[in-house]
Chain A
């Protein structure tokens, strides 16, 4: 019986309340592969000021007013490895790095050189080699490659109101911006009739029809699982920001064992063409504190969770005339999880001298697909990545993950 038939039996209102939470635990996060958490920092995050190459004097020459001072100075970077240091407002990530659950890949990104927000995000989320051939998302194709749709409607979830490109595709994915609002509000006596009418009318087999079916199934399962009753654990404190709340919601979905295999969360606001010095710090605090809270909250479960945070491009090495930085090229990727070989900044540093730059920007020495490929191969046990990242022939091992 497929989900649609199940819903049409009319049993759907009575069933969920009787079902214990674990009934819905399905393949995916049983320990055979990590849960994939994809965080997209939209706007083009300034990797150079977030993970500061304080050993490189060209950094200081190019950013006379915006550079983060060397470790030890007032407002200085927090040393990671003797060469790179975290922005001081990323302090809550330092313990994760030190304990081996966070690694950083510097001078990484997408070889697409458009420096357009839209184009770059699109291509990266599609995992596309370019040329406009691919329209669905790499995460969705990963789920396809890993066996396709499971019986859980929560297999892929975006903690947002709209589905990001990375999650679009054959495998149904949900968009849940907040758990407590994810409910069908209708008078009790109208529930069954309305649901039946909705299902009867959404019957053309198009995207809107499958979405409608998925909504009704997921609303009931979510109510039955009651993730809001699951406490935040280990003393974690999430920031009240939308990113913090999204990660808190995500942690609840994970703990509710709903069969989640992949999730995406956005954090926007990185497009700092001006006033980088005042606007980047609070965003860094929000980013780092939210991720640290997520890591603390999930505790032991982080052993089977892999988080990747990335952005569409980095920013120009030289600061502009508005105390900001314009669109650039290479940036930074962050990997968090028990399977991460943490406590390292992985990079083939290209240098910041004029001759080393790509149109004035940090060169990319690690393709973002190398990072993601290694994660999928080692933590999700995907053996053939050719459909996930078509035409990608770069390395799939940069020493970022331990095999599961």
Chain B
């Protein structure tokens, strides 16, 4: 990330911090959830497979989700998540719409305000993505939105993309997050954000640019070993000559006859006749969407996302088969995947990516947000430090999805510091994290507050506090030795089973939250 771009984004973010009502609104969503879950007694031993399903299809398991899923049953819950139109997300969506009017604007409205330095739709989009991941009840939908955003990666601060991505996100990616792949592919090919980012806007018969053509096959459809060669790249580029941005149209897409290469082409062995126009590119998209390599490539990505870093070929083949037979229907493919034995048996093996770690800390602790917007800065900074800010992947590959890419000493340390800051509150940040050279920012880890007293409930002894927080945050029992180690830390020299004074109980509760969020268990899904 180049420094000026990040500085600009951070400046824009600063203008959003005072956003009145947002923090309060989000807090009332949290409060609604925790009161709902407090009213019912949880089954003492929640089914592992349910927690597994909730963890993999969300940005972090919450007590509220467990309650809801427990009431209607695992398969009904999955069914709901696979049909997000049945879930009411008006709380979060209304808050976001009020706070960030740019989210609802058309291309024309957005492009009409680019001269206004206070108009920064890009930062609105980044904040919204982060908040939806944390607060939307349509969790699987948000997981898949992130999946496709990443699959069709566009770097938000590449030239004018900051003014183009809002509509692309709203009109192309989100409506099709659980939809048909070929439609997503077609819309993406016409999206001005993608046309700019991968340079197809300037791909002409007079001067071909093969950037989009190559990534279309390598990253969007066939995969690098999917059976295309250099000749195919050049031919596909020729097919897409003339596909460009046209500011006179509503969706900014324009096909220009005069820059289109009308000679015949051969793509993956298939002839494309001379004399055609936009049909060349459309035929290529159809050919790629239906290609078995695409089914296989997408199946392996989905299996890596939902099952493990190294899924068996058997399940990949099965999902690829499902993808082909359903004509790339994401909803049906996911249903098969999430009810498969391979999925069920892969518990706790996915290392959380930064987006999941950062969100799950807030979600699992029902943390409260401050009203000055420091929570926004804190979340933004953590995602920047850990390297997964939404829409900030510069190379077209998007963010990786495997432990080896995300686990490092620096990354683990940063995770710990984030968790510790939130658990203990008001810890000083290292000076290099004080991005804005503002002394007041040194103590901003209190922008997100863990309601320790609510979390520990009636528990007062070190052992009871530890057990209660393990259940509340990890939602599953841990090994005998690990439990013992945590209790020792929480007791801090006091007897394990003697009640502590309230103040001390809260203090040791903070220590317990810190240790649990830093623990090995909380790093995995």
State which residues 487-525 of B face A: CB under 8 Å: 488-489, 492, 511, 514-515, 518-521, 523
Is A207 on the interface with B (CB-CB < 8 A)?
A: yes
Task: Tell me how far the C-beta of B82 lies from the nearest C-beta in chain A, rounded to whole angstroms.
Answer: 31
How many angstroms from the CA of A185 to the CA of B419 in the assembled complex?
A: 10
Give the residues in chain A near B406, CB-CB below 8 Å: 162
How many angstroms from the CA of A303 to the CA of B420 in the assembled complex?
A: 43
Q: Known contacts A178-B432, A186-B424; is A194 also within 8 Å of B202 by CB?
A: no
| B1 and A197 form a contact (CB under 8 A) | no
State which residues 12-45 of A face B: CB under 8 Å: 42-43
Residue of B nearest to A326 (CB): B210
Is B97 on the interface with A (CB-CB < 8 A)?
A: no
| B412 and A208 form a contact (CB under 8 A) | yes
Of the candidate stretches B273-281, B289-297, B395-403, the one touching chain A is B395-403
Residue of A nearest to B482 (CB): A201
Indicate which residue in B211, B407, B432 contacts A181 across the interface (CB closer than 8 Å): B432
Residue of A nearest to B430 (CB): A181
Q: Known contacts A162-B408, A326-B209; is A190 also within 8 Å of B413 by CB?
A: no
| B3 and A240 form a contact (CB under 8 A) | yes
How many angstroms from the CA of A274 to the CA of B518 in the assembled complex?
A: 44
Is A202 on the interface with B (CB-CB < 8 A)?
A: yes
| B511 and A190 form a contact (CB under 8 A) | yes
How many angstroms from the CA of A200 to the CA of B482 in the assembled complex?
A: 7
Indicate which residue in A174, A218, A320 contacts B208 across the interface (CB closer than 8 Å): A320
Residue of A nearest to B428 (CB): A185
How many angstroms from the CA of A197 to the CA of B478 in the assembled complex?
A: 14
How many angstroms from the CA of A321 to the CA of B394 in the assembled complex?
A: 22
| A321 and B204 form a contact (CB under 8 A) | yes
Is A193 on the interface with B (CB-CB < 8 A)?
A: yes
Is A271 on the interface with B (CB-CB < 8 A)?
A: yes
Give the residues in chain A near B395, CB-CB below 8 Å: 42-43, 117-118, 268, 271
How many angstroms from the CA of A200 to the CA of B521 in the assembled complex?
A: 12
| B519 and A194 form a contact (CB under 8 A) | no
Give the residues in chain B near A116, CB-CB below 8 Å: 214, 218, 224
How many angstroms from the CA of A268 to the CA of B394 in the assembled complex?
A: 9
Is A269 on the interface with B (CB-CB < 8 A)?
A: yes
Task: Tell me how far the C-beta of A168 lies from the nearest C-beta in chain B, rounded to whole angstroms.
Answer: 6
- Is the contact region of chain B dominated by helix, strand, or loop, or is it mixed? helix
| B408 and A194 form a contact (CB under 8 A) | no
How many angstroms from the CA of A204 to the CA of B481 in the assembled complex?
A: 12
Q: Contact string, A303-321, partner B, CB cutoff 8 A, digits 1/0?
A: 0000000000000000011
Give the residues in chain A near B387, CB-CB below 8 Å: 161-162
Q: Known contacts A194-B515, A196-B489, A271-B395; is A324 also within 8 Å of B407 by CB?
A: no
Is B416 on the interface with A (CB-CB < 8 A)?
A: yes
Q: Contact string, B378-407, partner A, CB cutoff 8 A, digits 1/0?
A: 000000011100000011110000011111
Interface size on B, residues (CB 8 A): 66
| A326 and B408 form a contact (CB under 8 A) | no
How many angstroms from the CA of A397 to the CA of B212 in the assembled complex?
A: 39
| B485 and A197 form a contact (CB under 8 A) | yes
| B485 and A196 form a contact (CB under 8 A) | yes
Residue of A nearest to B206 (CB): A321
State which residues 206-254 of A face B: CB under 8 Å: 207-209, 211-212, 214-215, 218-219, 240-242
| A208 and B520 form a contact (CB under 8 A) | yes
Is B447 on the interface with A (CB-CB < 8 A)?
A: no
Q: Known contacts A193-B489, A193-B492, A321-B207; is A184 also within 8 Å of B521 by CB?
A: no
Residue of B nearest to A217 (CB): B409
How many angstroms from the CA of A271 to the CA of B218 in the assembled complex?
A: 16
Q: Known contacts A161-B386, A181-B433, A322-B202; is A174 also within 8 Å of B485 by CB?
A: no
| B396 and A117 form a contact (CB under 8 A) | yes
| B385 and A321 form a contact (CB under 8 A) | no
| B511 and A194 form a contact (CB under 8 A) | yes
| B208 and A211 form a contact (CB under 8 A) | no
How many angstroms from the CA of A149 to the CA of B433 in the assembled complex?
A: 32
State which residues 262-284 of A face B: CB under 8 Å: 268-269, 271, 273-274
State which residues 322-359 of A face B: CB under 8 Å: 322, 324, 326-327, 359
Give the residues in chain B near A203, CB-CB below 8 Å: 481
| A198 and B518 form a contact (CB under 8 A) | yes
How many angstroms from the CA of A194 to the CA of B413 in the assembled complex?
A: 13
- Is the contact region of chain A dominated by helix, strand, or loop, or is it mixed? loop
How many angstroms from the CA of A185 to the CA of B486 in the assembled complex?
A: 19
Give the residues in chain B near A214, CB-CB below 8 Å: 409
How many angstroms from the CA of A187 to the CA of B521 in the assembled complex?
A: 23
Indicate which residue in A43, A161, A168 contacts B385 across the interface (CB closer than 8 Å): A161
State which residues 167-192 of A face B: CB under 8 Å: 168, 174-178, 180-187, 190
Is A119 on the interface with B (CB-CB < 8 A)?
A: yes
| B417 and A185 form a contact (CB under 8 A) | yes
Task: Tell me how far the C-beta of B466 lies from the nearest C-beta in chain A, rounded to whole angstroms.
Answer: 10
| B424 and A190 form a contact (CB under 8 A) | yes
| B2 and A186 form a contact (CB under 8 A) | no
| A185 and B207 form a contact (CB under 8 A) | no
| B2 and A211 form a contact (CB under 8 A) | no
| A175 and B409 form a contact (CB under 8 A) | yes
| B424 and A161 form a contact (CB under 8 A) | no
How many angstroms from the CA of A122 to the CA of B210 in the assembled complex?
A: 22
Give the residues in chain B near A177, CB-CB below 8 Å: 385, 410
Is B429 on the interface with A (CB-CB < 8 A)?
A: yes
| B414 and A161 form a contact (CB under 8 A) | yes
Is A163 on the interface with B (CB-CB < 8 A)?
A: yes
Task: Tell me how far the C-beta of A286 lies from the nearest C-beta in chain B, rounded to whole angstroms.
Answer: 9
| B412 and A200 form a contact (CB under 8 A) | no
Is A115 on the interface with B (CB-CB < 8 A)?
A: yes
How many angstroms from the CA of A42 to the CA of B2 in the assembled complex?
A: 13
How many angstroms from the CA of A324 to the CA of B206 in the assembled complex?
A: 14
How many angstroms from the CA of A124 to the CA of B413 in the assembled complex?
A: 28
How many angstroms from the CA of A43 to the CA of B199 in the assembled complex?
A: 15
| B515 and A274 form a contact (CB under 8 A) | no
Is A158 on the interface with B (CB-CB < 8 A)?
A: yes
Is B203 on the interface with A (CB-CB < 8 A)?
A: yes
Is B351 on the interface with A (CB-CB < 8 A)?
A: yes
Indicate which residue in B403, B420, B488 contacts A207 across the interface (CB closer than 8 Å): B403
Q: Known contacts A161-B386, A204-B520, A271-B395; is A182 also within 8 Å of B410 by CB?
A: yes
Is B411 on the interface with A (CB-CB < 8 A)?
A: yes
| B209 and A320 form a contact (CB under 8 A) | yes
Q: Contact string, A150-174, partner B, CB cutoff 8 A, digits 1/0?
A: 0000000010111100001000001
Give the residues in chain B near A207, CB-CB below 8 Å: 403-404, 407
Q: Known contacts A117-B397, A187-B427, A194-B511; is A175 also within 8 Å of B206 by CB?
A: no
CB pairs A–B below 8 angstroms (21 shown): A161-B408, A162-B387, A174-B408, A180-B430, A180-B432, A181-B385, A182-B410, A184-B413, A184-B420, A185-B428, A190-B424, A193-B511, A198-B416, A207-B407, A240-B3, A241-B3, A242-B3, A321-B202, A321-B207, A326-B209, A359-B230
Q: Which 5 A-B residue pairings sit nearest by Cβ, starting from the closest?
A: A321-B207, A200-B485, A175-B408, A197-B489, A322-B202
Not counting A185-B430, A269-B394, A273-B211, a sample of 7 additional A-B residue pairs whose C-beta atoms are within 8 angstroms of each other reads: A163-B404, A181-B432, A190-B511, A196-B489, A207-B407, A241-B3, A273-B209
Chain B residues with a Cβ under 8 A of chain A: 1-3, 198-199, 202-204, 206-211, 214, 218, 224, 230, 233, 351, 385-387, 394-397, 403-414, 416-417, 420-421, 424, 427-433, 481-482, 485-486, 488-489, 492, 511, 514-515, 518-521, 523
